[in-house]
Amino acid sequence: MKTPLQASLFLSRTRETRKCVAPSALSRLNENTTDGFRPALSLGSLPVPNEYPMTTTHNLASELERIATAIESDATATAQVSLTSIAERIAKNLGVKPDEIALMGVSTRWRHLHFLVPESLKQVGFIPLSSTSAVAARTARESRPDIINNFASIRHATVFEGVKISGESSELIQKMISAPILSGDKVVGVIQVSRKGANAKTAGPDFGADDLGKILALCKPLGKLLQRIAGDE
């Protein structure tokens, strides 16, 4: 018998959102910034009941909650879950490409962020939590999201951005939302959703409050999953 889900989509520690849109008005928020995007979960490998057609953010959040609950009650279920498949579902829900989703875990032991998705970035390197130039590190330290719609025009490192994903030529990140993934009050990871392209126009529309709301609704169930699957490396 399945236990009914009691999903809560409230991200308790997320404070006000900082938003960057004008390259000519760089502030402390977006100067010297970079994106950083490193286990695996197949959403499709676990049975998905018909009552959870994952076509909306609420349905997807509920399904992630269900999977986290299943793993909590049965540790062997962890092996059936793929973070890559989950990232693909998130990308579809948000209207971006799979390679525009990055999930990172926080290692409190080593004081760094490591890549969970995309797979191709797992072995590239880590992001120190002390980094003053990485957007992901600041997101983890301050536990608050950023919307950066002029990402390509601000100074940032490109070590991860230049890595080819799925054998395709990599495009530059033009726009990004970076948000903390929480388990209770603890930041256990970071999700970054981007729009890539040759320029800001071809990358697609700016990210806005609606996009951020969808991402934040997924952060709590993602936090439960990361705690049970990725742990604290």
Is residue 144, in this structure, part of any structural domain at all? yes
What's the count of helices (H) and strands (E) in the chain, helices before strands?
Answer: 5, 7
Statement: residue 48 has pLDDT above 80: no
Residue 166 lies in a domain: yes
In this model, does residue 9 exceed pLDDT 50? no
Domain for residue 201, yes or no?
A: yes
CA-based radius of gyration for the chain? 17
Greatest Cα-to-Cα distance within the chain, rounded to the nearest angstrom: 58
Assess whether pLDDT exceeds 90 at residue 51.
Answer: no
pLDDT band at 36 (very low <50, low <70, confident <90, very high): very low
Among residues 58, 69, 72, the alpha carbon closest in space to that of 8 is found at 58
Closest CA to 113 of 193, 165, 43, 181: 181
With respect to residue 11, please indicate whether it lies within any of the assigned structural domains: no
Q: What is the helix, strand, coil percentage profile of the chain, to 5?
A: 35, 20, 40
Q: What is the pLDDT of residues 186-225, one digit of tens each?
A: 999 999 999 999 999 999 999 999 999 999 999 999 999 9
Structure tokens at 119: 């797979």
* 3 inside domain: no
Q: Please, which pLDDT band fits residue 162 given cuts at 50, 70 and 90?
A: low
Please say if the pLDDT value at position 29 is more than 70: no
Domain count, the chain: 1
Res 37 pLDDT > 70: no
Task: Check which CATH number belongs to the domain holding 203 and give it.
Answer: 3.30.450.40
Decide if pLDDT at 137 tops 60.
Answer: yes
Q: Which amino acid is at 132?
A: T
The residue range of the domain holding 113 is 18-229
Helix (H) or strand (E) holding 61: helix 57-73
- Residue-wise pLDDT for 75-128, tens only, equals 788 888 999 999 999 999 999 999 999 999 999 999 999 999 999 899 889 999
pTM beyond 0.95: no
Residue 203 carries which side chain, given as an amino acid letter? A
Within a domain: 1:
no
Query: Nearest-CA neighbor of 20 among 227, 215, 229, 212?
Result: 212
149 within some domain: yes
pLDDT at 63 > cutoff 80: yes
Q: Which of 101, 135, 118 is nearest to 31 (CA)?
A: 135
> Is residue 97, in this structure, part of any structural domain at all?
yes
